[in-house]
Every structure is written in structure tokens, then in C-alpha cells.
Chains A and B, each alone.
Chain A
């Protein structure tokens, strides 16, 4: 898929330790420290593959051009009240990003993800321990033979028993789907296309991973509650020193 496929494995995160990040407010940053990436099989719940697609009819740009513009505007495509704050101006492999999510009833979740792979038409994030999901989310641009297609594909598992319960009750899935539908249709809007997203769900395994029960200790929802409940992320972010956010 990438252009340098013959020279080893370009585009991958080298696994370096996440250190400082001036773009992220300290009270957010402290919730990201010592949170290693979590693969899909390191979550507590079953594993699911959820794919969201939007076709861009009539867009004459190449997949590479479309992907580049999508990534340049990636944080702006997130639904209102939610923030994706990367630690570097460009989303390159190894970059950690803070994820600030506004949930119903004043709940706020501060969590993170890390770019583990990027090429000219795709980017893969891995979530950090404490996130609602353990797993990989890949954003890519392909074609359906005629038109370009934006795709977001998540291979994830609810991170701990609490998240698993929320997802079993159907609340988490609905919120997650609404979130990605909104984000990918906003991305389509970058190219002047107003479209709805197509979704495909696949259950890979419904077995619980009891060995990861302890992930609940790092549950980002619980840890964010005391610092951020009912608060505005916009205010928190605006308090950052000018030029650092």
C-alpha cells in the first residue's frame, strides 16, 4: 500500500518511550503517562471489527492527495466537544495524542492513542491503556474501482469489565458508531461531499479475557471523573500557554 514497501518496514513506530508534550495541558498529560499501547487481544471484552466507509463520488483527487488532506484536518473532523491533540504538528509514527471525549450527563473521558503506522494512504492508531477500547483503528483511502472511498476500521475490544458492561448494554456501541459516522462524514465534507456512512460490523470473538480484568484500575472514565466531570474541555485547552497548543 505504501510507496516504500521494498525497503524494510518504513512507516512503523519505533516504540520509543512517550516523554514530554507541550501541546497537551499538564492535567491531561498526567492521565497519559505510563499508559502503554494495548492490542485488541489485551482488552477484557470480545473482539469486534467495525468498518465505516464513505464514498466520494466525483472527487478527482488521488487517494494520496485525499488522505493527506484528511490527515492535515484530522482533529477538526472530530464531533464537537471532542478533541484529538497530537504531540507533534504531523501525525507520524510514534506520535502520541490526547483524546478528550465529552460524554452524556457531563461525563468526560481523557485518554490517548499512538500512531503506530503511517504510509501515503493509511494511518493506524493504537489505543493506550485506560481507553474504552483496546485495539487498532486504521484510517485509509481506497477506491471502489471508480470513486475514492474513505474508510475507518476499528479492531477493538472493550478495555475492562466496566466498559464491557456499558457496551453489552448497547450504550457504548451506539455512541461509538455515532462518533465515527460523524467524524467520517465531516472528513467527506472536506472534499465537498455530503454523504452518509456505510457500516459493517463483525464479531471476531465474544470470549471474555479475564486476565485483563485488572485494566479497570486504569479506566480513563473513572480517572477523569474527579478532574473533568461537567467541565468544559475548551476552557482547559484555552488555559494552555499561547503557542503551545
Chain B
């Protein structure tokens, strides 16, 4: 699924959810993809955005910044954010930056898609 040709792939399993599959090492190269996705999501009515980190190999400081910019824009658009596939190293960064205040971390895709019934991210 993750062949590095697309850094972020969008899936829409239902009208209410959009899943973003991130691929590879999250760094400055993701800036353009996040920006393009932000534009696309602006026109979609799906109120929930789920970020899949399962295929993420790592992240650098600029990658974290672009992720935060993206999440901030989504919150501004009143999208609820969730994440899954977050490995222990990424959890360390999430904890360091208090990302739980910005997006809800779930164990798997199924749980993330239950966001609507769960606690607001």
C-alpha cells in the first residue's frame, strides 16, 4: 500500500469519515501534500478526519511542524481528528507535544471510525 509514490493517500470509507494514509518518513517533503490535502478536505463535508500512521517509518522536526499545521487547519474547519497506527516512538513525540489535545489516538482503524460516538478529539 505504501510505495512512497504518494506521501499521503485519501480514502473515504463513508460520507462522514476521511482516512489519510501517511507513507514513509514524515519530513519537509510532506508540506506540499498536507497543503494539497487541506485544500481537498475544505470542499469535502466529512466531519471526521482520521490519520493512519501505520506506514510511517519516522518523523523529523519539520515533519512534526507540518503535521501540526495540518491538524490546526483541520480544527479551524471544525473537523474532528483521530489517529491510529501510532507506534511507541511516535507516541513519545505525541506525548512530548501534548498531541492528545489536538487529535484522539486510537488503537486501530475500527476504533478510529467510531470517533463520532466517542469522545470529541
Contacts and interface: CB of A to CB of B under 8 A. Distances in A.
Closest 9 CB pairs of A and B: A124-B61, A117-B61, A9-B89, A39-B97, A205-B76, A1-B27, A5-B25, A1-B60, A8-B89
Interface stretch (A41-49, A56-64, A99-107, A221-229): A41-49
A117 B60 contact: yes
A125 to B, nearest CB: 9
A42 B65 contact: no
Nearest to B27: A1
B98 A136 contact: no
Interface residues of A, number: 36
Contacts of A126: 96-97
B62 to A, nearest CB: 6
Pick the most buried of A14, A41, A123, A153: most chain B CB atoms within 10 A of its CB: A41
Interface of B: 25, 27-28, 57-62, 64-65, 68-69, 71-73, 75-76, 89-90, 92-93, 95-99, 101-102
Contact of B92 (A9, A40, A49): A9
A155 B65 contact: yes
A124 B90 CA distance: 16
B65 A205 contact: no
Given A41-B102, A136-B65, A153-B65, A9 B76 contact: no
